[in-house]
């Protein structure tokens, strides 16, 4: 595939772990564990295809509402990923960042393993892997709006100068480009509070494939879908064609 037709930022909603396990008569935790292996596959596949940025919806702020045992297992799996994928990510030159709140809500062991991964991959230049951990899009936007309001109250920002970029500077995703392609596995067709600001113009690819069944073929199907799309950003078809000819 022509690199010019590749998205610069892919964001994936990893859905279907529980249903995958239930359909096999297994505990839901087994589905999450199987899904964690596909996280590493997705990172390798995107790295091999020279995708600059990959964001994965690892744990949403709303997931705290799940049963305590499941939440504990999810946090353990996040910790295990940070520890077990560490050497491969360093070797590949993948820089890891977190979007969301790594605060006291996150268990200490998970937080420390994640912080170590972030620190040890900080010099990576081949790809950025953003883990959306304890992330909620609305919550992130509210936090950013409060920061903008504080600047305005302090006289550092005039109300009439507030724009989308003012808000973006205070989002946890501020150092990432907007998402070009959002992939959701598991058959559901919603964003579930994932990147509401950053995915405003993204192409959306929904697949019935459950996350533990995700493969390179699934990714390639999404990339082929993206390559067929005409991204207009509010322009007419004629304007898009003219810009492509330049």
Q: Say if residue 4 carries a ligand binding annotation.
A: no
The strand pairing partners of 94, in sequence order, are 127
Residue 73: closest CA among 36, 103, 117: 36
CB within 8 Å of 227: residues ≥ 6 apart: 1, 2, 5, 6
Catalytic residue ranges? 15, 63
Q: Say if residue 19 carries a ligand binding annotation.
A: yes
Q: Say if residue 16 carries a ligand binding annotation.
A: yes
Q: Say if residue 232 carries a ligand binding annotation.
A: no
Q: What's the start-to-end Cα distance of the chain, in Å?
A: 21
Q: Say if residue 191 carries a ligand binding annotation.
A: yes
Q: Computed from CA positions of residues 199, 205, 208, 214, in that sequence, does the dihedral angle turn out positive or negative?
A: negative
Q: Three-class SS of residue 212?
A: helix
Q: Say if residue 120 carries a ligand binding annotation.
A: no
Q: Say if residue 15 carries a ligand binding annotation.
A: yes
Binding-site residues, in ranges, read 15-20, 28, 32, 64, 66, 184, 190-192, 203
Binding-site residues for Mg(2+), in ranges, read 15, 203
């Amino acid at each position: 595939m022509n690199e010019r037709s590749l998205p610069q930022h892919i964001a994936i909603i990893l859905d279907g772990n529980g249903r995958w396990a239930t359909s096999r008569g297994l505990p839901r935790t087994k589905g999450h564990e199987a899904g964690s292996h596909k996280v590493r596959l997705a990172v390798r596949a995107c790295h091999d295809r020279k995708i600059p940025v990959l964001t994965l919806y690892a744990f949403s702020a709303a997931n705290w509402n799940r049963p305590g045992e499941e939440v504990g297992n999810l946090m353990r799996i996040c910790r295990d990923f940070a520890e077990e994928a560490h050497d491969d990510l360093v070797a590949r030159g993948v820089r890891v960042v977190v979007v969301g709140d790594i605060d006291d809500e996150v268990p200490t062991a998970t937080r420390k393993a994640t912080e170590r991964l972030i620190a040890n991959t900080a010099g990576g230049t081949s790809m950025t892997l953003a883990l959306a951990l304890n992330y909620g899009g609305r919550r992130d936007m509210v936090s950013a709006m409060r920061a903008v309001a504080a600047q305005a109250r302090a006289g550092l920002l005039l109300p009439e100068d507030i724009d989308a970029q003012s808000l973006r500077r205070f989002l946890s995703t501020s150092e990432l480009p907007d998402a070009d392609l959002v992939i959701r596995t598991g058959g559901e067709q919603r964003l579930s509070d994932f990147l509401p600001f950053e995915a405003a113009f993204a192409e959306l690819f929904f697949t019935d494939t459950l996350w533990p069944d995700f493969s390179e073929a699934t990714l390639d199907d999404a990339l082929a879908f993206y390559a067929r799309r005409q991204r207009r950003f509010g322009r007419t078809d004629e304007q898009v064609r003219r810009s492509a000819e330049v």
